[in-house]
Amino acid sequence: MAEQLFKKILVANRSEIAVRVMNACRTLGIPCVAVYSEADANSRHRWYADESVLIGPPPPRESYLDIDKIIDAAHKTGCDAIHPGYGFLAENPLLPRRCAAEKITFVGPDAEAMRLLGNKIESRVKMAEAGVPLIPGMTGSATEAKVFHDAARKAGYPVIIKAAAGGGGKGMRVVHKPDELDDALEAAQREAANAFGDDTVYLEKYISNPRHVEFQVLADMHGKCAHLFERECSIQRRHQKIIEETPSTAVSPELRARMGADAVKVAQAAHYTNAGTVEFLLDDSGHYYFLEMNTRIQVEHPITEMVTGVDLVVEQIRVAAGLSLSDSLKNLTQRGHAIECRIYAEDGENGFLPSTGKIIHYTEPAGPGIRVDSGIEQGSEITINYDPIMAKLIVHAPNRDMAITKMIGALHQYKILGVKTSKRFMVDVLSHLEFRAGRTFTSFIEQHMGSRSVDDKKYRDAAAAAVIAAMQSAALNGNAGGPGRAAMATPWQSLGAWQIGDSIRG
């Protein structure tokens, strides 16, 4: 019998990614421990684990983001490793640093590589030294507007101001002409300070209408590093990916070889180990530029698994235990085409407002080449406390046309009764002639689906109104302090979103 890599792994996350990591633990015969907040007392990931530990009330800062509570839960349950999943603490270097101090293995990169790559300015400097293609712009920080004006003049308008510690589109402003720059700089600094506690920003040339192409990499502690091909993630809404696919329709074998080699160069320059993703922008002339490296498993990792046959989370755990990359990574090829759709609890026909409620019926699609990574089941509560992603639907087929057709069919099979979802919107995107033709750019939603979306301010205002309404409703029904308990409602209100036959309403 093979030696067990770890005695027990604590999964410091929730919902579908926690369940995904637990599945990898079971593949390796390693017991796993869930942590959960009071809002997740009846959640799927809690019951899926071998053991579970309550770590606090619903606000993430008092539960899933509290490093002391995570470490304490690991010690109490005898865990010798922690897997962070994605989100929450996954890219916070304080967690791997604390794990090292507590003699607990962190399943991910070390703290210094994570810190370096988390700072966009420092990582640009490092990648420039390594010879990786960069978007023209600043390679240092500044506070004086004159420095930004000089850099913009040198790069050429339009330019974009970005937060050094940024992500998710926060602290970002596009500037089309010089007299817009001062106001944009002030707004980006203010937003960066609010979002990340750091108002450092820098400036780059704005690449119009690019594709977002990223490469999965794996690196062990013995100097081996490999890429597992690309994923195209150009279909984005408010800078958040919603549909991903591999291979990219824009990447030739020659371009793949060059971008993959540069992705490996990025990981090696940062002395990176474990799984990571190197993101590039690809313009319509075939030029590509380093964007950033994400130091964790990605939401969209299953499509890479579908075309390569490699279990990326199992590889993460093996590498964290000190093993070399698996022999299965030698001579990898891409087999067929894979697509992932993120299933959000959002009203896709009403500006994508958050949707909350109880899942009163749930049936997943099934069949050859169909995979569902889900954090919900019948009876699950979708609350206002966390990210609205409920599940990921992934399909694999011999070619792209067949994968698109299979995904549309699977979306129609997917029955979620109780909350509204983005499924209908996904079908519309996949059915669009421009998507079918492979002309997928980061501006696809704005250009072709604009009438189905709303701008950022309207979304934030509407989302805030929805949250307040939900809280008021809970208070009126005596449920304000009872996480996990459904508010009293009429039978029709309780039914929530609904669906008959193939007419998708949720």
Distance, CA of 473 to CA of 466 (rounded, Å) = 10
Q: Of 173, 231, 256, 296, which one is the catalytic site residue?
A: 296
Contact between residue 261 and residue 290 where contact means Cβ atoms under 8 Å apart: no
* One-letter amino acid of 218: L
Tell me which H or E stretch contains 292. strand 288-294
Tell me which H or E stretch contains 241. strand 240-246
Phi-psi region of 78 (alpha: psi -120 to 50; beta: other; left: phi over 0): left
Burial (CB < 10 A; 0-12, 13-18, 19+), residue 112, is middle
> Going by C-beta distance under 8 Å and a sequence separation of 6 or more, which residues neighbour residue 415?
361, 362, 363, 499
* One-letter amino acid of 141: S
Distance, CA of 373 to CA of 44 (rounded, Å) = 12
Using alpha carbons, list the distances in angstroms from residue 60 to 21, 91, 503. Answer: 20, 15, 36
Residue 500 is given by DSSP the state B
Count other Cβ atoms within 10 Å, centred on residue 365. Answer: 18
Question: Concatenated DSSP letters for 50-108?
Answer: SEEEEEESSSGGGTTT-HHHHHHHHHHTT-SEEE--SSTTTT-THHHHHHHHTT-EESS
Active-site residue flag, 46: no
- Number of residues that make up the chain: 506
Phi-psi region of 156 (alpha: psi -120 to 50; beta: other; left: phi over 0): left
> Which residues are catalytically annotated?
296
